């Protein structure tokens, strides 16, 4: 049996999409591969995609939402973090860090979500403070906590 992955290694560049309402309610989804790990929509860039294309694809794959129907914004923020050991095998040998690019998607209210069952178990809408407290990722938490300031400047 070969140690060659069945799919190409992930590119260590990803998007994080914080989905929120004007009332600062935030959508979180629970990972199927790690119960209790709550997060915003996130996913790795595919070869040849722009970051915006990655955000649009991941948004639709993970929630069923169409970005063009709402307000998707590139927050021009990037975070570099060490890849969690439990997911390191998805990356080429020697790759230890990922660069995450943060986007926001404003929806008018709590919209209907269609989860990808192989990726996520359930979703919840929470106040931004409660959502930030539930996130397992520090960069996701920080992006959510920055929402009030972002809304003041129209992001």
Q: According to the model, what pLDDT value does residue 3 have?
A: 57
CA-nearest of 33, 31, 22 to 70 is 22
Question: Buried b vs exposed e over 40-57: b needs ≥16 C-beta within 10 Å?
Answer: bbbbbbeeebebeebbbb
Domain at 13-152: CATH code: 3.90.79.10
The answer to whether the predicted template modeling score (pTM) of the entire model surpasses 0.95 is no
CA dihedral 90, 13, 71, 111 (to 10 degrees): 10
CA 46 from chain center: how many Å?
15
pLDDT at 155: 58
Q: pLDDT tens for residues 124-151? A: 999 999 999 999 999 999 999 999 998 8
Q: Domain ranges in the chain?
A: 13-152
Phi-psi region of 33 (alpha: psi -120 to 50; beta: other; left: phi over 0): alpha
pLDDT tens digits, one per residue of 46-70: 999 999 999 999 999 999 999 999 9
Average pLDDT over residues 25-42: 96
- Please tell me the total number of residues recorded for the chain in this structure: 155
Rounded to an integer, the average pLDDT of 86-111 is 95
Strand spans (E) along the chain: 13-20, 25-31, 38-39, 41-44, 71-82, 97-106, 120-127
Q: How far apart are the C-alpha atoms of 5 and 153, rounded to whole Å?
A: 44
3-class SS at 91? Answer: strand
Tokens 């040998």 identify what position?
93
| DSSP-based three-state secondary structure for 113 | coil
pLDDT tier at 1, thresholds 50, 70, 90: very low
* Residue 32 confidence class, pLDDT cut points 50, 70, 90: very high
């Amino acid at each position: 049996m070969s140690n060659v992955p069945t799919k190409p290694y992930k590119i260590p560049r990803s998007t994080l999409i914080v989905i929120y309402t004007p009332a600062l309610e935030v959508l979180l989804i629970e990972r199927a591969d790690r119960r209790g790990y709550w997060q915003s929509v996130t996913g790795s860039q595919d070869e040849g995609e722009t970051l915006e294309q990655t955000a649009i694809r991941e948004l639709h794959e993970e929630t069923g939402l169409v970005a063009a129907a709402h307000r998707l914004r590139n927050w021009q923020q990037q975070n570099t973090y060490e890849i969690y050991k439990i997911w390191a095998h998805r990356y080429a040998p020697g790759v230890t860090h990922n660069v995450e690019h943060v986007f926001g998607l404003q929806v008018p209210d709590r919209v209907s979500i269609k989860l990808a069952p192989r990726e996520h178990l359930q979703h919840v809408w929470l106040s931004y403070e409660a959502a930030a407290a539930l996130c397992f990722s520090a960069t996701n938490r920080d992006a959510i906590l920055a929402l009030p300031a972002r809304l003041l400047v129209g992001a």
